[in-house]
Every structure is written in C-alpha cells, then in structure tokens.
Structure 1
Amino acid sequence: MTLNVQNEKLASVRLYEAETSVATVAARHGLDPATVLDFSLNINPFGPPEGAIAAAREALSTGHLYPDLRFAALRQAVARRHDVDEDALFFGAGLDDVIKLLIHAWTSEGDTVLVHIPTFPRYELEAGLRGCRVVAVESKTPTRTDLHAFPAVLARESVALAFICSPNNPTGERFAVETIADLATRHAETLFVVDEALIDPATDGAMALPKRLRNVIVLRTFSKYFGLAGLRIGYAVADPKLVAIAEVGRPPFNLAAPSVSAAVAALADTAFLARCKATFATESAFFADAIKTMPGLSISGSNANMILLDLEKHQPGEAAELLAAQGIIVADATSFHGLERYRSLRVSLRGRNDNERLIAALRRIA
C-alpha cells in the first residue's frame, strides 16, 4: 500500500495564520496576552447574547445525549426568520463545513467552479480538493471586486457552481440582487452560491431568490453578527431537492446541542442585535474619520465592522508586525488570491476603547 503523504492540491494552501494568535504574538513580543487585541477576524466583539450563553449552559446538562438529528428547534427558528420552508435549510459546523459539504454534494471531479477574486479563499480551496477545475476571474480593480467577467465565462464554459460573496470578504462590495438573479436566470444549468456571511445587520440580501430560482443558494452564519463564532453554526437556504442531495453527505449530529440552543436564543434576542447594529455604524464612522487624518493610509473597502486598509509606506507583512509589537493583531490581506501584490490590511473593528488603541497604533506607523 502506498501512503498519500502529500496531496499535491494542498502544497500551496495558505492556512489561517497560527502566528497571529494572541498567545503567539504575546510570546513573540514579550507582551501580556490580556493586553493583546485581535482585529484580524470578523467577529462580534461584544460576544454572544446573555440568553445564548444561558441556553448553551443549560444544554450541557444533557451532554450525554446525542443532539436532535434535524435540529428541529433551530430549523423552525431559522425558517421563521427567513420565511422559508424547513426542508430548504442545510446546516453545518460553520460555513467552512457547509461550503465543503455542498461542493462535494453538487459537483464531480473535473467539474468547473467559478469564483471572483479577491474573495473568501475556501471556495477555491475546497473545489480544488474536490478535484474540480477552478476558474478565478479578476476584477477590473483588484482591491474592488466586481462580476464583470462572469457572463463571458458562463457563456463559454459549462460551470457547475459559481460562488458570489456578497458582501465580499475582504473588499466589502455588495452585488445587486437582480444582477445575481439575471445571471441565474440566463444560466439555469449553473448553481449560484451567494455567501452572505457578512450581510447582517442588513436585511435586504438575496434570501428571497431561492424561492424564485431553484439554482440559487444563499449562505448565512451565526459566527459574525450573532457572536457565536466559537460554536460553529452555518447554514444554506436552497431548493429542497438540492438540500436532499446534500443531506446524504452530511455527517449525523454535526452540530453540538449547546451550539443549537445558543443559536435559537440568539435569534430571539432582537434588542442585543439592535445594539450591535447601532454600535457597528457608530464605530465604522469614527474609524473612517480617523483614517482620513492619517497620510499614507486609506480605506479601499468596508462593510459593517470589516475594513480593508491600503498602505503607502509599508508592505503589509511589515505593517502587521509593527502593529503586533504594539499588541494589535491585523490580517495581512496578501493571503487573499488577487491581492498578493497589493499593500492591504484587513481589520475588524471592536468597541470604542479598543478601536482607539488601533487608531493610535496605526498613527505610529503611518
């Protein structure tokens, strides 16, 4: 038997950077971990709603039992939120899991998968690991993402899946729902997966499209706005026939009971979500005003609390390290396919005191 010790498709993969963890940065620079602030990952800096914490804690009392196979309470709550059929929902342990499972369910080796770049890298990675041929189309301006090349590719290629990230990670653009609907209508043989992980707190996304067009799938997550990144819950809304195909490959019990209970409680806490929405808007405006006063820094894209910064003076890796020495962790955006040659950092804003520390650190390097 020959062991496959190195899958060639993994050779060039750049993973989440372990060297940017709070513990690693603190050790490298001789800092107290409690003083290090992580702005590199897009999360809700205010944590989960109190009700979600209580619900998860209560669910632990039955931790010796397997969770409900269909996650009935969560399925009902999400179906009500989006006014969709319960059978139109597909759940995974975070959107990374959902993306992987859907690619495996709806493609075969050698199929073509279309992505725009720069964008969330897991589409390209998971499609490649599946053995798909990935067509990655660049935008007119690399630090601003668009779909201008999609029609030409769809016209000449037989595309199994097309991924559209809206709002786009890391550049922040949102694509018009009717633009997506038009592409899906013209190319009914292609499945269009619209990743709306970053859309909350906005409510005018593409969620209504799967009812109109069976080849449109919308992805959402509890990791960002709902403050449950560590509990790993993502989901897709799709035509029930497509969901049934994907369910065959979904591992049973792939969501933990405390995670499910926390998600149900988080959906119900509308007051918490309203406070977060107001704070994100205030802090984004505060940060943008501060950046305008810093020569050598500019904002090229933003959405909610996610900001893409352009640098004039430093290379991204150098700037990230200078900030890390001050106890500030940011994301070097050269890890995104399409941004390798550009001087960009991605930051995700936190509360006012933390954001003031970020601004002060940026001033020192600008």
Structure 2
Amino acid sequence: MSKYWSDVVHGLTPYVPGEQPKLTGLIKLNTNECPYGPSLRVLQAIREAAGEDLRLYPDPDARALKETIAAHHHLQPEQVFVGNGSDEVLAHAFHALLKHEAPLLFPDITYSFYPVYARLYGISSRQLPLDAQFRVVVDDYLAVCAEGRVGGIIFPNPNAPTGIALELEEVARLLTGCPDAVVVVDEAYVDFGAETAATLINRHPNLIVIRTLSKARALAGLRVGYALGSAELIEGITRVKDSFNSYPLDRLAMAGSIAAIQDETWFAHTRERIVTSRHQLTAGLRALGFQVLPSAANFVFARHPTRDGAELAARLREQRILVRNFRQPERIAPFLRITVGTDAQCEALLQALAGIVQGTPAVLS
C-alpha cells in the first residue's frame, strides 16, 4: 500500500496468472500452452523479419496481418482489430464497448480476468450462475435482457476453466434476444472442438469475437490476439488503442502471426494431435475414478470424489508436475484444470495420480 496510489489502484485485486516456474525439468500442465513448437514457417518468417528494419516503427495499423486474418475468416480488414495478446484486446473491448449504466453480465465460473477488468474500468457487473452441469444457461441472460437492464455480455466459448462449449445455435439465440447489448465471445480455445461465432458477425452487429494465437497456433510467447466484429465496433476498440498505444505489435510478431495463420497443414495436424490426446487423457482420468467435464478445449477439468483438489495439485507438484487448482468459487475448488500435454506428459500425469489415489507407485519414464 502507498499513499501515492490512486483510489483505483487501492480497489484492485489483480489477476493471478498460472505459475511460470524458473525450475527446469517440470511437466508443465498448468497454463494451457501448446505442448508442441510452432510452425517452422513461423520461425523462418521471424528470422527474415529480424533485420535492419527493426530500427523503424512497425505498421501501426498492422494492415498485412489484418488482411491475413480477414481472409482466414471471410471478413473484411475493417472488421479486424489486432493487439498484444487477447488479454489486451479484451481490455480495450471492456473500455470501448462494455462500460454502460446497466451491468455487464458474465458467468459465475469463467475467466477470472473479467471481474478484474470490470473493477479497473469501473464497470458494474452481474454474474449469472452456470447450471448443475456447469453449462451457460442462455435463457437466464435472455430473461435479464427482456428486463432491459444489460450493458453487455461476455463469456468464453468453450468456457474456462470448465472447457464446456456452448452450441452455435445458442450463441445466435443470445445475440438475437439481446440486440441492444454488445455480446463478446472469447474464443481462446475454440479451435479444439467448438464452433466459432465468427460466422455470425455479418448477421449480428452486436457481436465481437476475441481470438488468440497463443493456444492452437503455439505462439503464447509472441503475444498476439485479435477481435472480429462489425466495422463500427472495431472502430470503437481502435479509438481506445490509439489513445493508449499506437504500436502494440512489433515487426517480428506480425511476421510470425501471418505465417502461423497461413500454415494450415501444421495447424490441422497439431490440433488433431491435441484433441486425440485429450480423449486419451479423459479416458485415463475416468479409469482412476475422476469426474471429467466434457471438454472442447486443450485442457480438461476433473475432480476425484474422495480427494481435495489443492491436495492433489500439491502432491503432483512434489513429483514435478504442475496443474491448476482454483480455490474460488468454492464450487470448483475440488477440480484440477489440466492442460493436454504430449502423450508422454499425459501418461506421466496419470501414473502419478494413480500413485496418489490408488497407492500405486508411479513409474515415470
């Protein structure tokens, strides 16, 4: 605490990211990173961009990257916004589009950055509970919209940390039923099993879709995210960005991102490997007695009926395996969020868990 802090800072509880340990030799399944390296075309593009032009500012409009993203999603460049990771894109969307007199709606179990941004920007919010199966209930949001008290809606699809996806028809029904509210669909994990809402953009002017290259494109270290929506909504976000930082993406990030989006062969192959490993990991966890929620993401959300989630996470860490456990809200405290790693990493995790819950000695290769 400091007497020099503003009232805003005094009232903030910052987001806590997943641990990025300094130790080597860990099996890191706690931050939903891709277990495989990026496309070789990405590395080559970055090497080619690392030349004398680094003395010059990058294109503030990132036009080439916007054109690549627009072509990928069958949209126009004016319908694309790019930023330094999807978290920055989300922050600008909160500031530009979601601050209204009526409250912002989001699920009670969801990405924990949303309430942080709401507090940061002074946005009133209301959390609507997931149902008993941890699913978003669209009718609950429609009921609030019918009362005319909605300043905006945001949710991940698939949701985080549950991994459960909302069907595209339900997203469309929400957009139609709440036409006066901006609806932000955060699609950080959509490529692993859900349907993108980007196909709905030209029919619904109140829709913003947020994407990232950190997960399915294996570029978490490059920090590139983007938003898709009507030109009017994108202009609003751009006005905030240009009042904050006109050059959020550097030359290397733009070059690597373009190459990543264009390498569809690498993307399809890597995505299939992760989805296949997810199915195998889910089956292995269930064989050990875990309840595993149906995941459409690159992670699973699982609990054991007789073991505390924090205890399991601590015991796994003793064996140099990192997973994520959330103490709040209390309803999800028993669960572990486990990133889908390589097959060898997933097998090591299952062996370690077998040793913990069944007393079977772990034999790690």
2:215 maps to 1:213: no
- Counterpart selection for 2:157 from 136, 157, 166: 166
Identity across matched positions, percent: 26
Structure 2 distance, partners of 1:321, 1:356, is 18
Shift of 1:307: 0.3
- Counterpart selection for 1:282 from 276, 283, 299: 276
2:175 maps to 1:184: yes
Which deviates more, 314-323 or 343-352? 314-323
Equivalent residue number for residue 89 of structure 1:
80
Alignment of 1:189-204 (within 5 A): 189-202=180-193, 204=195
Equivalent residue number for residue 298 of structure 2:
305
Equivalent residue number for residue 321 of structure 2:
328
Equivalent residue number for residue 260 of structure 2:
266
- Counterpart selection for 1:52 from 14, 38, 42: 42
Equivalent residue number for residue 36 of structure 1:
26
Alignment of 1:111-150 (within 5 A): 111-141=102-132, 143-150=134-141
CA contact (8 A) 1:144 1:300 kept: no
Please report the TM-score for the alignment, with normalisation by the length of structure 2: 0.90
State the SS of the aligned residue for 1:149: helix
Alignment of 1:57-72 (within 5 A): 57-61=47-51, 62-72=53-63
CA contact (8 A) 2:68 2:258 kept: yes
CA contact (8 A) 1:118 1:142 kept: no
Describe the superposition over 1:239-279 as per-residue Cα deviations: whole angstroms up to 9, x where unpaired.
10111122111121101111111111111212211211221
Mark the CA change 1:89 to 1:99 in structure 2 (over 3 Å): closer, same or farther. Answer: same
2:293 maps to 1:293: no
Structure 2 distance, partners of 1:187, 1:233, is 30
Runs of 4+ in 1 over 6 A off after TM superposition: none
CA contact (8 A) 2:58 2:250 kept: yes
CA contact (8 A) 2:165 2:295 kept: no
Shift of 1:202: 4.7
Structure 2 distance, partners of 1:209, 1:193, is 12
State the SS of the aligned residue for 2:191: coil
2:247 maps to 1:257: no
CA contact (8 A) 1:117 1:136 kept: yes
Shift of 1:203: 7.3
Please report the TM-score for the alignment, with normalisation by the length of structure 1: 0.90
Equivalent residue number for residue 316 of structure 1:
309
Describe the superposition over 1:97-118 as per-residue Cα deviations: whole angstroms up to 9, x where unpaired.
0111011112446541110121
Equivalent residue number for residue 361 of structure 2:
none
Shift of 1:204: 3.4
State the SS of the aligned residue for 1:353: helix
CA contact (8 A) 1:111 1:160 kept: yes
Structure 2 distance, partners of 1:46, 1:341, is 29
Structure 2 distance, partners of 1:320, 1:203, is 28
Which deviates more, 46-55 or 272-281? 272-281
Contiguous gaps of at least 5 residues in structure 2: 358-365
Mark the CA change 1:108 to 1:353 in structure 2 (over 3 Å): closer, same or farther. Answer: closer
Mark the CA change 1:153 to 1:266 in structure 2 (over 3 Å): closer, same or farther. Answer: same
Shift of 1:157: 4.5
The residue identity in structure 2 corresponding to 1:22 is P
Mark the CA change 1:241 to 1:145 in structure 2 (over 3 Å): closer, same or farther. Answer: closer
CA contact (8 A) 1:166 1:195 kept: yes
CA RMSD of aligned residues (A): 1.9
Shift of 1:82: 0.3
Structure 2 distance, partners of 1:190, 1:304, is 27
Aligned length: 350
Contiguous gaps of at least 5 residues in structure 1: 27-32
The residue identity in structure 2 corresponding to 1:96 is D
